[in-house]
Amino acid sequence: MHLAIVLPLLAAVATTALSPNTTAPGIIPGTTGHYVAAGGHKYYFLESQPAASPIGTVLLFHGFPDFSYAWRYQVPFLTSLGYRVIAPDLLGYANTDAPCDITQYALKKMSTDMTELLDQIAPGEKIILGAHDWGAGLAYNFATWFPDYLKAFFTISVPYNRPWLGPSLEWADMLDLVQNGTYPTMGYQLQWRELAVNRNFTTRDQTRSFLNTGFGGLTPEGGAGLSPHDGLHYDVMPLLENQTLVSAEDFEVYVDKISQKGLAGGFNWYRTRRMNWEDELPLAKKGPFKFKTPYLFIASEQDTFMPPELYNNTGSYFEDWSIETIAAAHWSMWEKPSEVNAVIRKWLTNL
């Protein structure tokens, strides 16, 4: 009897919450915010529509620890070029679900989620995909499994390595690859994949400290709180001055939204490497894999986590590609927005 009363109410709430047709403003000017069910999760995305009928759709994947706001300066720009722009909060972040089940963060699973999102909001369309940081990892996977959804794609800061992210078909744990010098700048991942790191970042102040560190806050002597080789330096983090990458207002937006879900969901992206390898192994066994979808890599020249050695072989994985370099560190979309926009525009024009 109670159930009979309660269930219809729950159903009504769920339907309203998942309607992709709300007109609530999104956090980036000119956008609206929407929810959609995909892959068994509730995803949130920002949408921006050009004044005239769109010339295409651009889908944007942010990285770690980030959310749709990563594209603060790209969404209005791409809209002004005539594109419809969609920027989801990816799994684990901000207004989107952050399940505890780590398998949900396997890149192939999240790629499938994105096809379900697109099937609802851009059915049958070949879209342009853009991605930064871990969003790039997802984009490479999406382009591997679902190329039919894509007209072209670009990634920022994180280059493509082999599908299984190791030097051979054999499983190689990241610990071995860091220790034997294959990926020396990925030592921080060993710290972030530990479940124990979750409980160091549960409060708003801890999230603030992580973001300040990740956005490049320095000690008065110029020291960093984060190293590509061994991750967070917990003794240095409290000594950092305020980051200067984003404005104080934008930083508060980040603290508000990232502390909403905390960092555990984002850290889960570092914990599915073995699953990603298993998912991609059958494909890798078929021989050298090459992407056919047109591709642009936007390298960040001063990104110490992603030195040029990691993208000196990109050409062997892409049939149709180009590279542009931005004189910026990891967060080039915030540091050099107009330069990033200019290379995207040039590439779009020549597609």
Ligand X SMILES: *[C@@H]1O[C@H](CO)[C@@H](O)[C@H](O)[C@H]1NC(C)=O
Tell me how far, at minimum, the Cβ of 206 lies from ligand X, in Å.
9
Helix 273-285 to helix 107-121 angle (10° resolution) is 80
Tell me: does residue 229 bind ligand X (CB under 6 A): no
Among 103, 202, 242, 247, binds ligand X (CB under 6 A): 242
CA 155 to chain centre: 10
Annotated catalytic residue, options 97, 133, 279, 303 = 133
Distance separating alpha carbons of residues 208 and 15, to the nearest angstrom: 34
Tell me: does residue 124 bind ligand X (CB under 6 A): no
Helix, strand or coil, per DSSP, at residue 324: strand
Instruction: Give the DSSP per-residue string, 114-180.
Output: HHHHHHHHSTTPPEEEEEETHHHHHHHHHHHH-GGGEEEEEEES-----TTSSSSSS---HHHHHHT
101 is a catalytic site residue: no
Among 1, 3, 9, 21, binds ligand X (CB under 6 A): 21
How many helices (H) and strands (E) the chain has is answered by 12, 10
Report the residue number, 135 or 225, with the smaller CB distance to ligand X: 225
Q: What single-letter amino acid sits at 276?
A: N
Tell me how far, at minimum, the Cβ of 12 lies from ligand X, in Å.
14
Among 23, 53, 168, 350, binds ligand X (CB under 6 A): 168
Work out the number of other CB atoms within 10 angstroms of the CB of residue 11.
10
Tell me: does residue 180 bind ligand X (CB under 6 A): yes
Helix, strand or coil, per DSSP, at residue 89: strand
133 is a catalytic site residue: yes
Q: Which stretch binds ligand X (CB under 6 A): 4-12, 157-165, 189-197, 261-269?
A: 189-197
Report the residue number, 148 or 235, with the smaller CB distance to ligand X: 235
Give the pairing type, strands 231-232 and 321-326.
Answer: unpaired
* Contact criterion met (CB below 8 Å) for 217 and 225: yes
* Contact criterion met (CB below 8 Å) for 80 and 107: no
Tell me: does residue 244 bind ligand X (CB under 6 A): no
Among 204, 247, 313, 320, binds ligand X (CB under 6 A): 313
Tell me how far, at minimum, the Cβ of 311 lies from ligand X, in Å.
9
Tell me: does residue 158 bind ligand X (CB under 6 A): no
Distance separating alpha carbons of residues 72 and 74, to the nearest angstrom: 6
Q: Which stretch binds ligand X (CB under 6 A): 172-180, 216-224, 282-290, 341-349?
A: 172-180
Among 205, 301, 309, 320, binds ligand X (CB under 6 A): 309
Tell me how far, at minimum, the Cβ of 143 lies from ligand X, in Å.
22
Tell me: does residue 203 bind ligand X (CB under 6 A): no
Report the residue number, 80 or 260, with the smaller CB distance to ligand X: 260
Helix, strand or coil, per DSSP, at residue 232: strand
What residues act catalytically? 133, 330
Binding site for ligand X (CB under 6 A): 19-21, 167-168, 172, 176-177, 180-182, 191, 194, 196-197, 200, 234, 242, 309, 312-313
